[in-house]
């Protein structure tokens, strides 16, 4: 599953969201805490850890297809 997250972080960066290594680490930790079952919570956790603005958050959410 780690490879899937890394691919997702790459896609987020390619979409123009500047995700520093610390952001991807924080997002990975959040995923470990919330798990994969509650998909809305997972989406929220990813978007909150990878985005710094509302626009970036919308970009991140648009890339999540679960």
Q: Residues 50, 23: contact at Cβ < 8 Å?
A: yes
Question: Structurally, how many domains does the chain consist of?
Answer: 1
Cα separation of 11 and 7, whole Å?
6
Give me the phi and psi of 45, to 5 degrees please. -60, -45
Please give the residue range of the domain that contains residue 39. 2-63
* Residue-level pLDDT at 7: 92
Q: Residues 7, 45: contact at Cβ < 8 Å?
A: no
pTM score of the predicted model: 0.84
Cα separation of 21 and 40, whole Å?
24
Cα separation of 34 and 11, whole Å?
21
Q: Could you read off the pLDDT tens digit of each residue along the chain, which spans 66 residues?
A: 778 899 999 999 999 999 999 999 999 999 999 999 999 999 999 999 999 999 999 999 999 886
* Residue-level pLDDT at 4: 87
């Amino acid at each position: 599953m780690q490879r899937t997250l890394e691919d997702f972080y790459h896609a987020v960066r390619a979409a123009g969201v500047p995700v520093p290594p610390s952001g991807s680490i924080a997002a990975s930790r959040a995923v470990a805490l919330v798990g994969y079952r509650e998909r809305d919570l997972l989406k929220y956790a990813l978007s909150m850890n990878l985005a710094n603005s509302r626009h970036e958050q919308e970009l991140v959410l648009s890339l999540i297809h679960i």
